[in-house]
């Protein structure tokens, strides 16, 4: 949203771009340096097969670090949908490491599935899970994962595993003994009952036996200073890291959020990609620097397989990436599999986190659809948003007062530009005290909200997680008195600087604190609000202006006693989780909430939409929106968007107009701007541009039924809404790194214009034997080739796939909530065989009724000159008034003589039509039938 430059003023900031020096580089971070400096080679970690214990779906076995005799416990699980889980932690630790409780990141305890043990042979323990295998190499420890006996992922193949065991500053081994936290207590069967190998004696260490120091003590192990801030590091060095190889894969994707290409780059000559939730002012493009939120999920894709790894760890992380294709060298020790074949591409990744354990889910696809289903089975789906939230949002820092709000609302109507939500930024509050209003500017917020509501519109206000430390501020004093605030390292309430000045933060890590926060959204607590007000959480990384890297110091203490170091990347997610719960409670669990967040973590999709933070009004930032959103969509964050127009700076008319066009086909569509920018509501554009921006926004509204369908599919299958082309065309190698065009679902191909002065654009059309139709003219383009498409300012290049049916609603309305009962237009684009198919999903567009069966789902199919709608599901008592106004069929070679509708009751009716022989488009007029019923349209 904005940053401290404003607050600190010109004294401290020049505000000329990212302040790199505010953020650590790898070489300024002790654990990053120690982990990154690991040399590939033989790992000192060795499996102790005699200790193997197995159950029907899991295994545990001890691992010894032969350098220092520290013992670890390796646990493996077989999970449903073909997922392996591998955990590695100290067998006996001085301190219980943080493991994220189920329900925060994982949506539920993953369902286990039968893991078959095939015994030990040649120093390898083999387990199978359906078609997939996990092979544990004993000495040194290495885990290989195979699909149909082909290796696709390998852990510790380079031998970079480094688990910094717990220790005390005085000499850690002296305190080993009864107080240790032991993992060796779970009831497991003896593996030898299952035909395991010979039990070898004498390998186990006795407790307290002397151990060797693994590494020299380094100065930054017990204390670290950055920019004058000292991190007390009471637990010393506690990082974990290992390498993950993807043999056979040239490309890996994911680990958002970075302002970089979709296909991740080699980090040979840069810092690793950093995963640490931070408020980065005027962020740089094409950089591995950390941004606001992070998801430690990576996918690899090639012509044969798509696989993924989810490294569940909430501490600061870094990921190095090397590729034998990009880097011209092979590191991994996969000789057993790919002997002597240097032509096989391979990507080697190296992950390290400052704290926590190693907890990795290996998702073995084998196709794109499979990994999305697998990842969603772990971290949950994006729940179907209310329809209005998929429409256009008008935001700015700030709409100054209720007159300003009314004026924007009225002027949008005057210019016939639809919008659904107007947003208020921090200035609407009384002195940045969230849950309050500045009474001099919003003297009658209830009436303001009612006025918006009367037009079918809503408001979103900002509620940040920092609380102004002021006695009279109820929310703060309540939190303080109840002991809900995050502590500093000495145990007092942490006091940091944010918008209101001196602030404190509720400890969202705790369930009872989240419940307390949720209660604040009740209409009698958040005074002056109504049920058409929704919420936006910003600064939840959290942003702390006067702290190291503009966030909590790492030794800040949560109520559990844990340091922020252990949980940092999860904190922001729990803020928006609690906000979501608040809105849910407010409606007595009837209405779907809407929350937008800047900080996020794995699982954030379950409760919030995400935007890409404080971008800039520059062409390069417009271009970057697509790769950033593709990464977010890959990692489960389907409802995502970028500030239209760019947050900082003043975009010129052309850029702003092009940005509106791009936003039409991105999931979350909101214009936003910095307080210092010129006003830029779309009606302020000069006429020639305004008309184009208006057409773009209106186009978004006509496609709302399609967006809704996409989000229904997202919720039910885990498939991204915004898809990289390889997700639908997995064998077309030339699209693997493509991130300047993308697909919405499997039906619409989008290539936004992101360069100044462009009047035409080269578009690659995927798909052998596929034909694509321009969505405006129905001009066709054959698949598997590139074509130059005219793209003057008025043109948003987008194409519908032949073979698809896309639902639209063509009546112009000022807000989406006025469209619930509007009639449909179906756009049927025929493939080369004259066929097409699609689905329609209907519910009430705002409540949770659909979870109780209050919805209908129909299947549309066009074949043999016949369009058929068949009802797949219709909940008892569910009805909709929506009807079919028009059917457009593109790719019809000869005009039909007659067209008949067969109604649900079997009666027939002749339908009027027009036919354009030039474009081969048939328009069938007014079938008038209810869309959620069975009906057939016959072409004769």
Ligand X SMILES: *[C@@H]1O[C@H](CO)[C@@H](O)[C@H](O)[C@H]1NC(C)=O
Residues that bind ligand X (CB under 6 A): 402, 406, 444, 447-448, 451
State in angstroms the smallest separation of the CB of 441 from ligand X. 11
Nearer to ligand X by Cβ, of 528 and 593: the residue is 528
Active-site residue (options: 231, 538, 643, 831): 538
CA distance 272 to 164: 20
Q: Is the peptide bond before 136 cis (omega within 30 degrees of 0)?
A: no
Q: Which residue in the block uniquely carries the two structure tokens 């229904």?
A: 712
| 885, two tokens | 């106004």
State in angstroms the smallest separation of the CB of 462 from ligand X. 19
Cα–Cα distances in angstroms (integers) from residue 318 to residues 104, 361, 663, 912, in the given order: 22, 18, 31, 63
Nearer to ligand X by Cβ, of 271 and 409: the residue is 409
State in angstroms the smallest separation of the CB of 450 from ligand X. 7
Paired sense of beta strands 824-829 and 640-641, if any: unpaired
Cβ atoms of residues 915 and 921 within 8 Å: yes
614 a catalytic residue? yes
CA distance 402 to 117: 68
Please list the residues that pair with 319 across neighbouring strands. Answer: 273, 351
Nearer to ligand X by Cβ, of 447 and 916: the residue is 447
577 a catalytic residue? no
Nearer to ligand X by Cβ, of 338 and 446: the residue is 446
Annotate 236-249 with b (16+ C-beta within 10 A) or e (fewer): bbbbbbbbbbbbbb
Give the nearest residue (CB) to ligand X: 451
Written as one string, the DSSP assignment of 277-327 is ----TTPPSS-----S----EEEEE-SS-EEEEEE---S-EEEEEEEHHHH
Written as one string, the DSSP assignment of 770-811 is -EEEETTT--EEESSEEEEEE--TT---EEEETTEEEEE--S
State in angstroms the smallest separation of the CB of 467 from ligand X. 28
Nearer to ligand X by Cβ, of 523 and 787: the residue is 523
Residue 871 neighbours by CB distance under 10 Å: 15
Nearer to ligand X by Cβ, of 453 and 847: the residue is 453
Q: Which residue in the block uniquely carries the two structure tokens 């007000």?
A: 533
Task: Write down how long the chain is.
Answer: 940
E runs forming strands in 817-907: 824-829, 836-842, 856-863, 866-874, 884-890, 899-902
Cβ atoms of residues 346 and 330 within 8 Å: yes
Nearer to ligand X by Cβ, of 448 and 929: the residue is 448
H or E stretch covering 924: strand 921-925
Residue 875 neighbours by CB distance under 10 Å: 15
State in angstroms the smallest separation of the CB of 96 from ligand X. 54
CA angle 621, 580, 492 (to 5 degrees): 90
State in angstroms the smallest separation of the CB of 523 from ligand X. 18
State in angstroms the smallest separation of the CB of 457 from ligand X. 12
CA distance 414 to 396: 20
Nearer to ligand X by Cβ, of 57 and 407: the residue is 407
State in angstroms the smallest separation of the CB of 534 from ligand X. 19
State in angstroms the smallest separation of the CB of 415 from ligand X. 18
CA distance 923 to 295: 46
State in angstroms the smallest separation of the CB of 315 from ligand X. 47
CA distance 526 to 528: 7
Rg (CA), the chain: 29
State in angstroms the smallest separation of the CB of 402 from ligand X. 4
State in angstroms the smallest separation of the CB of 414 from ligand X. 13
The values of phi and psi at residue 353, to 5°, are: -125, 150
CA distance 516 to 378: 27
Residue 626 neighbours by CB distance under 10 Å: 25
Nearer to ligand X by Cβ, of 528 and 572: the residue is 528
Cβ atoms of residues 660 and 404 within 8 Å: no
- In eight-state DSSP terms, residue 97 is P
Nearer to ligand X by Cβ, of 405 and 632: the residue is 405
Q: Which of 749, 709, 707 is nearest to 729 (CA)?
A: 749
Written as one string, the DSSP assignment of 846-864 is SBSGGGGT--EEEEEEEET
Cα–Cα distances in angstroms (integers) from residue 194 to residues 47, 118, 145, 553, in the given order: 18, 9, 22, 50
Q: Which of 359, 439, 390, 444 is nearest to 817 (CA)?
A: 390
Q: Which of 799, 797, 699 is nearest to 749 (CA)?
A: 799
Nearer to ligand X by Cβ, of 441 and 672: the residue is 441
State in angstroms the smallest separation of the CB of 275 from ligand X. 44
Active-site residue (options: 370, 581, 614, 774): 614
CA distance 371 to 730: 13
Catalytic annotation, residues: 538, 614
């Amino acid at each position: 949203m904005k940053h401290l430059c404003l607050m600190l003023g010109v004294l401290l900031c020049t505000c000329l771009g990212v302040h790199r020096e505010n953020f650590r580089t790898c070489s300024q971070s002790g654990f990053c340096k120690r982990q990154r400096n690991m040399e590939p080679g033989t790992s000192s970690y060795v499996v102790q097969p005699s200790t193997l214990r197995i159950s029907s779906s899991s295994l545990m076995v001890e691992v010894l670090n032969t350098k220092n005799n520290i013992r670890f416990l390796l646990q493996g699980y077989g999970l449903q949908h073909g997922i392996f889980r591998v955990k590695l932690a100290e067998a006996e630790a001085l301190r219980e490491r943080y493991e994220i409780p189920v329900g925060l990141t994982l949506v539920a305890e993953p369902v286990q599935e039968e893991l078959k043990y095939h015994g030990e042979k040649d120093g390898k323990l083999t387990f199978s899970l359906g078609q997939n295998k996990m092979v544990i190499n004993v000495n040194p420890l290495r885990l290989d994962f195979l699909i149909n006996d082909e290796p696709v992922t390998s852990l510790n193949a380079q031998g970079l595993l480094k688990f910094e065991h717990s220790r005390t500053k005085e000499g850690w081994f002296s305190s080993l003994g009864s107080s240790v936290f032991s993992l060796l207590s779970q009831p497991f069967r003896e593996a030898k009952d299952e035909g395991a190998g010979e039990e070898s004696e004498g390998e186990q260490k006795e407790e307290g036996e002397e151990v060797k120091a693994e590494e020299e003590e380094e100065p930054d192990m017990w204390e670290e200073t950055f920019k004058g801030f000292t991190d007390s590091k009471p637990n010393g060095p506690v990082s974990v890291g290992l390498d993950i190889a993807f043999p056979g894969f040239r490309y890996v994707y994911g680990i958002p959020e970075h302002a970089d290409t979709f296909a991740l780059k080699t980090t040979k000559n840069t810092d690793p990609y950093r995963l640490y939730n931070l408020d980065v002012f005027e962020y740089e493009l094409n950089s591995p620097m950390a941004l606001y939120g992070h998801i430690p999920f990576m996918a690899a894709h090639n012509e044969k397989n798509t696989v993924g790894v989810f490294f569940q760890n909430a501490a600061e992380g870094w990921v190095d990436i090397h590729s034998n294709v990009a880097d011209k060298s092979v590191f991994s020790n996969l000789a057993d599999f790919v002997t002597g074949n240097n032509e096989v591409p391979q990507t080697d990744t190296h992950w390290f986190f400052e704290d926590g354990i190693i907890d990795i889910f290996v998702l073995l696809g084998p196709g794109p659809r499979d990994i999305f289903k697998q990842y969603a089975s772990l971290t949950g789906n994006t729940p179907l948003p209310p329809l209005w939230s998929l429409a256009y949002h008008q935001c700015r820092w700030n709409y100054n007062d209720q007159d300003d709000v009314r004026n924007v609302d009225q002027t949008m109507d005057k210019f016939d530009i639809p919008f659904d939500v107007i947003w208020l930024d921090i200035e609407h509050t009384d002195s940045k005290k969230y849950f309050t209003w500045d009474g001099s500017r919003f003297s009658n917020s209830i009436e303001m909200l009612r006025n918006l509501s009367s037009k079918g519109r809503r408001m979103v206000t900002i509620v940040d997680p920092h609380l102004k430390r002021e006695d009279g501020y109820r929310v703060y004093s309540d939190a303080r008195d109840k002991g809900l605030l995050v502590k500093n390292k000495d145990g007092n309430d942490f006091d940091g600087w944010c918008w209101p000045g001196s602030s404190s933060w509720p400890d969202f890590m705790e369930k009872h604190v989240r419940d307390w926060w949720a209660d604040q959204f009740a209409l009698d607590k958040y005074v002056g609000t109504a049920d058409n007000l929704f919420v936006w959480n910003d600064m939840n990384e959290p942003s702390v202006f006067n702290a190291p890297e503009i966030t909590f110091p790492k030794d800040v203490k949560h109520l559990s006693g844990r340091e922020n170091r252990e949980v940092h990347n999860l904190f922001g997610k729990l803020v928006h989780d609690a906000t979501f719960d608040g809105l849910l409670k407010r409606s007595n669990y009837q209405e779907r909430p809407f929350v937008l967040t800047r900080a996020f973590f794995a699982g954030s999709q379950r409760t919030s939409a995400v935007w890409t933070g404080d971008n800039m009004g520059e062409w390069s930032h417009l271009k970057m929106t697509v790769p950033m959103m593709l990464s977010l969509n890959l990692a489960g964050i389907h409802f995502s968007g970028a500030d239209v127009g760019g947050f900082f700076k003043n975009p010129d008319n052309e850029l702003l107009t092009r940005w509106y066009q791009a936003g039409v086909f991105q999931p979350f569509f909101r214009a936003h701007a910095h307080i210092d920018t010129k006003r830029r509501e779309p009606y302020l554009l000069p006429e020639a541009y305004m008309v184009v921006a208006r057409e773009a926004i209106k186009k978004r509204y006509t496609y709302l039924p399609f967006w809704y369908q996409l989000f229904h599919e997202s919720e039910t299958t885990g498939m991204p809404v915004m898809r990289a082309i390889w997700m639908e065309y997995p064998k077309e190698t030339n699209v693997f790194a493509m991130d300047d065009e993308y697909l919405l679902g499997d039906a619409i191909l989008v290539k936004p214009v992101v360069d100044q002065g462009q009047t035409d654009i080269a578009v690659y059309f995927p798909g052998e034997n596929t034909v694509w139709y321009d969505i405006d003219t129905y001009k066709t383009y054959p698949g598997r080739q590139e074509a130059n498409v005219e793209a003057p300012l008025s043109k948003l290049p987008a194409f519908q796939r032949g073979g698809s049916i896309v639902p639209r609603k063509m009546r112009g309305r000022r807000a989406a909530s006025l469209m619930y009962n509007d009639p449909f237009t179906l756009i049927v684009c025929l493939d080369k065989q004259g066929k097409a198919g699609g689905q329609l999903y209907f519910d009430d567009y705002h409540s949770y009724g659909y979870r109780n069966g209050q919805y209908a789902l129909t299947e549309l199919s066009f074949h043999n000159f016949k369009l058929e709608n068949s009802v797949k599901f219709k909940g008892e008592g569910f009805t909709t008034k929506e009807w079919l106004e028009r059917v457009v069929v593109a790719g019809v070679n000869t005009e039909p003589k007659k067209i008949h509708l067969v109604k649900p009751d079997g009666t027939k009716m002749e339908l009027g039509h027009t036919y354009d022989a030039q474009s081969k488009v048939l328009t069938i007029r007014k079938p008038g039938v209810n869309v959620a019923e069975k009906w057939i349209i016959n072409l004769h």
